[in-house]
Structure 1
Amino acid sequence: MKPSLPQGTRDFSHEVVHKRQYILRKIKQIFELYGFQPLETPAMENIDTLMGKYGEEGDKLIFKILNNGLDNPSKEDKTRQAMEEILAGKWSRQLTERALRYDLTIPFARYVAMNHGSLSFPFKRYQIQPVWRADRPQRGRYREFYQCDCDVVGSASLINEVELIHIYDQAFKALQIPVSIQINNRKILAGLAEACGSTDQLTDITVAIDKLDKIGLDKVKEELRARGLGEKQIQIIEQYLRIGGSNEEKLSSIEKLLSGSDQAAKGVQELRYLLDFTKDSINAVQLDFTLARGLNYYTGTIFEIKASTVKMGSIGGGGRYDDLTGLFGVSGIPGVGISFGIDRIYDVMEELGLFEGKLSQGTEVLFFNLGSYELAGAYPLIQQFRKAGIRTELYHEPVKFDKQFKFAEKKGIPYVAIVGSEEITDRKITIKHLSTGWQERLDSTDIDKIVQTLHSPK
């Protein structure tokens, strides 16, 4: 059988891994500049931890793990009944009690709920791990991908949102990706639902609005009708979605449209705070009232990051969730967090050619294998190279020089080192630079001089 990969997953070659690690190093450095510490959680969670936390659309995309022992003949009737429930759109404990994590935020909330008695608040963590979604694979959208999050819990202060905006700004400047940092507030969306007289349909409204970029306004209106909203309500939502202008003009328009809502007024106040704090230092912050982030747990500021020069979905997002741990029986721990879409960031950087000249090379020197006697004399020198920080390989067997040269060329190794019987006697080493043909015989005891020679331009 021909080997293959599950749809929506990928292998990563060493070239790709180096590029991904470059992105993660840049972001990690900035997280730690702001006082965030790393955390990891299991790949799977109990299904009760995940279900019901992401809204109707999100729940459909959770990868569920079948229970062990379903092939046991004594469980045949229960398994058949459970399968009927699954086909009816439900899920059954008879079939599945665990699932792969959908994101990093809910597992983090579960961690905080389980450990809140021993944590120092505000608690600031970053987390970089894979997540899984049963989505339809397409460009920039995978079934297995890495998320890169940072969150602050135990503080309601809006200064946390300010710092997260600055983290986004610094990170994308470090990666040299021009972006727009789009912000909105779920309180304004709640005010919109209030203005429509449909506070109980906030989720229906936000789920539909969240699809605006993908399906367009007419399709959003169709979905709103399908979700039971009337034409007058849809007119108010359309008026809301058409608000434009500068940040200040947008705020003035939303204050007029939602003038009767205390919730909306609070949301506007919070947005003004963020804009006032960032207006002199970050030009990329833009109000976007069409931004909904259709996840049920957001309660305040919401963020979305888009690349300015590449057509791609969002490459980052997040928001405030003032009672996320309340889902696990621990109330009163507000939080706010953001996420970086590593896979999409990678695709953007590839398209813009931003990796060129920024990645560390692989092996710097290949030692030729000339035989057992020569190898015994060369191996201590190989280890000295490695101790000096020179990335060094040894060819695995004594074969013709031509084959060893071709190996170095194929792997892109810039230098080869030759230590033959004559070099051992004279305590020398011959270094050759493959692309220029430069070659020199150096004192093998002077490692500092060898390092300086290897790192000098040829």
Structure 2
Amino acid sequence: MAQKPSIPKGTRDFGPMEMAKRNYIFDTIKSVYALYGFQQIETPAMETLHTLMGKYGDEGDKLLFKVLNSGDYLKKVTDEELSERNTLKLQTKLCEKGLRYDLTVPFARYVVMHRDELQLPFKRYQIQPVWRADRPQKGRYREFFQCDADVVGSDSLLNEVELMQIYDTVFAKFGVRVQIKINNRKILTGIAEVIGEADKIVDITVAMDKLDKIGIDGVNAELREDGISEEAIAKLQPIIALEGTNDEKLATIKQVLAGSEMGEKGVEETQFILDTLKGFDMKNEIQLDLTLARGLNYYTGAIFEVKALDTAMGSIGGGGRYDNLTGIFGMPGLSGVGISFGADRIYDVLNALDLYPKEAVNATQVLFINFGDKETAYCLPIVEKCRKAGVRTEMFPDSTKMKKQMNYANAKNIPFVALAGENEMNEGKVTLKNMTTGEQTMVTADEIIKTILA
């Protein structure tokens, strides 16, 4: 008996309904990116291991999917090396390529390779799958999509303003109420300086970033474990607990950071972004969150995170400013800022809140019933006319029982069915049935189009 087929753990099939929903998400994001002048690029699924290795830390290197060399991949390996079973040494001879881990490193490689062709500032977006050899679990997959947008070659804070507008516009189009959080890496560095723990910046901010999950007591406990002094922890408490409007928070933290050049610069940058956004009709709340950290080894300026307000979900978007994207490939000094949408989590949010528009998930709009050769020959020109008018139309291919054809329409959630028998053909019309209400009317081809596109 043939073995039952399967797919690798941590990967998924997507059926027609799921694809319709995913395409709605991707198409919405793409349309807004385009509004702001971003252009789409794609990079190969595979990159050389020379490009990928050493860019994500030791843990990231372990999670890279390596691809065996083509042909006789053992030809460079001796029997002695095989018997030693030194995995790291062997993989350098067995594998020259790997599946991309994210879109950022391939983008950095792309910028360096194509720098003579690019017009700076370069505004790119990229929506492609990435792969990680992680342990699959709920909400964590080995293959998933990232939806990134970046501006490189510009230090202007107007880029940060536009990226926050993009977040606001996309989620307004989705009908999802979100909170867009903002902070600044320089502010966090200033905080570490003024509490006397500048060398513990990463430990402090990693702990602060967990405030929503473990609470203030948990944060303080983690700070103690990391060797932060009680005096520094005490100084940190009013900063963590800071409340009020964005302007009130900024005014307070400005006083706290007086004397920290880096911290004051972060306040100044944040003030500019928030003040500029006041001039726009923002649909969602912008919140200054001084506990927001996000990958401090990577970001150097403004940082963002987006959370849905009406359903329990983690971050559904994030990003920030970085100063040396291309330095890893020998091209230092190119500043950039970028954001990413969490497509898989947005998919779950829209499902939970039932926010998918019907037109986005219902593919076919009208099905023509097949009663036989003569009736089909009569219907086909009408089918063509409907399609040319932009109506998504199917003609059932087989002259089979009407019940089977109607079940097909119901299974695909097709809202209208068109039927043409002797009476309809004599009058040059078809009977159009609304599958939701059951109402039936005899109409012309033009009236079909008008009814469906109304």
Distance 1:321 1:73 in 2: 40
Question: Residue 218 and residue 106 in structure 1: after superposition, are their counterparts in 2 closer, same or farther (change >3 A)?
Answer: farther
Q: Report what 2:335 is aligned to.
A: 334
Whole-angstrom CA distance in 1 between matches of 2:195 and 2:11:
42
Is the CA contact 1:54–1:295 (under 8 Å) kept in the aligned structure 2? no
Aligned to 1:53: 55
CA distance in 2, matches of 1:82, 1:223: 39
Q: Which residue of 2 aligns with 1:177?
A: 176
Task: Give the structure 2 partner of residue 265 of structure 1.
Answer: 264
Deviates more, 1:161-170 or 1:377-386: 377-386
Give the length in aligned residue pairs.
Answer: 449
Residue of structure 2 equivalent to 1:397: 398
Partner SS for 2:92: coil
Fraction of identical pairs, as percent? 53
Could you tell me whether the CA contact under 8 Å between 1:62 and 1:99 is conserved in 2?
yes
Contact 1:206 1:294 in 2 (8 A): no
The answer as to whether partners of 1:53 and 1:297 remain within 8 angstroms in 2 is no
* Pair 1:130–1:292, CA change in 2 (3 A): same
Aligned counterpart for 2:19 among listed residues 12, 17, 20: 17
412-421 vs 397-406, greater mean Cα deviation: 412-421
Quick check: 1:363 aligned with 2:364?
Answer: yes
Name whichever of 184-193 and 199-208 sits farther off. Answer: 199-208
- Residue of structure 2 in register with 1:450 after alignment: 448
Which residue of structure 2 lines up, in the alignment, with residue 37 of structure 1? Answer: 39
Distance 1:74 1:136, change over 3 A: closer
Is the counterpart of residue 316 in structure 1 residue 312 in structure 2? Answer: no
Distance in 2 (CA, whole Å) between partners of 1:138 and 1:237 is: 35
What aligned pairs does 1:297-312 form with structure 2 within 5 A after superposition?
Answer: 297-312=298-313
Contact 2:17 2:361 in 1 (8 A): no
Q: Distance in 1 between matches of 2:393 and 2:441?
A: 18
Match of 1:241 in 2: 240
Matches of 2:365 and 2:211, distance apart in 1: 50
- Give the TM-score taking structure 1 as reference length: 0.86
Structure 2: gaps spanning 5 or more residues: none
Q: 1:327 and 1:237 mapped to 2: Cα distance?
A: 34
CA contact (8 A) 1:364 1:390 kept: yes
- 3-state DSSP of counterpart to 1:448: helix
Moved more, 154-163 or 252-261: 252-261
- The partner residue of 2:81 within 78, 81, 91 is 78
Taking the aligned partners of 1:103 and 1:406, their CA distance within structure 2 comes to 43
Whole-Å separation in 1 of the counterparts to 2:438 and 2:144 = 43
Residues 71 and 212 of structure 1: CA distance in aligned 2, closer, same or farther (over 3 Å): farther
* C-alpha distance in 2 between matches for 1:196 and 1:189: 11
- Aligned partner letter, 1:78: E
Cα distance in 2, alignment partners of residues 96 and 346 from structure 1: 35
TM-aligned CA distance change 1:159 to 1:92, over 3 Å: same
Counterpart amino acid of residue 46 in structure 1: T
Distance 2:53 2:348 in 1: 31
Return the alpha-carbon distance in structure 2 between the equivalents of residues 19 and 96 of structure 1. 37
Cα distance in 2 between the residues matched to 1:66 and 1:186? 40
Q: Distance in 1 between matches of 2:241 and 2:451?
A: 63
**Structure 1 residue 351: deviation in Å?**
1.4
CA displacement 1:166-224 (0-9 Å, x = unmatched): 11112211211111111111112223444466555544444444444444455555555
Please, which of 18, 29, 32 is the counterpart of residue 27 of structure 1? 29
CA distance in 2, matches of 1:52, 1:378: 62
Alignment partners' CA distance in 2, 1:391 and 1:332: 51
Unmatched segments (≥5 aa) in structure 1: none
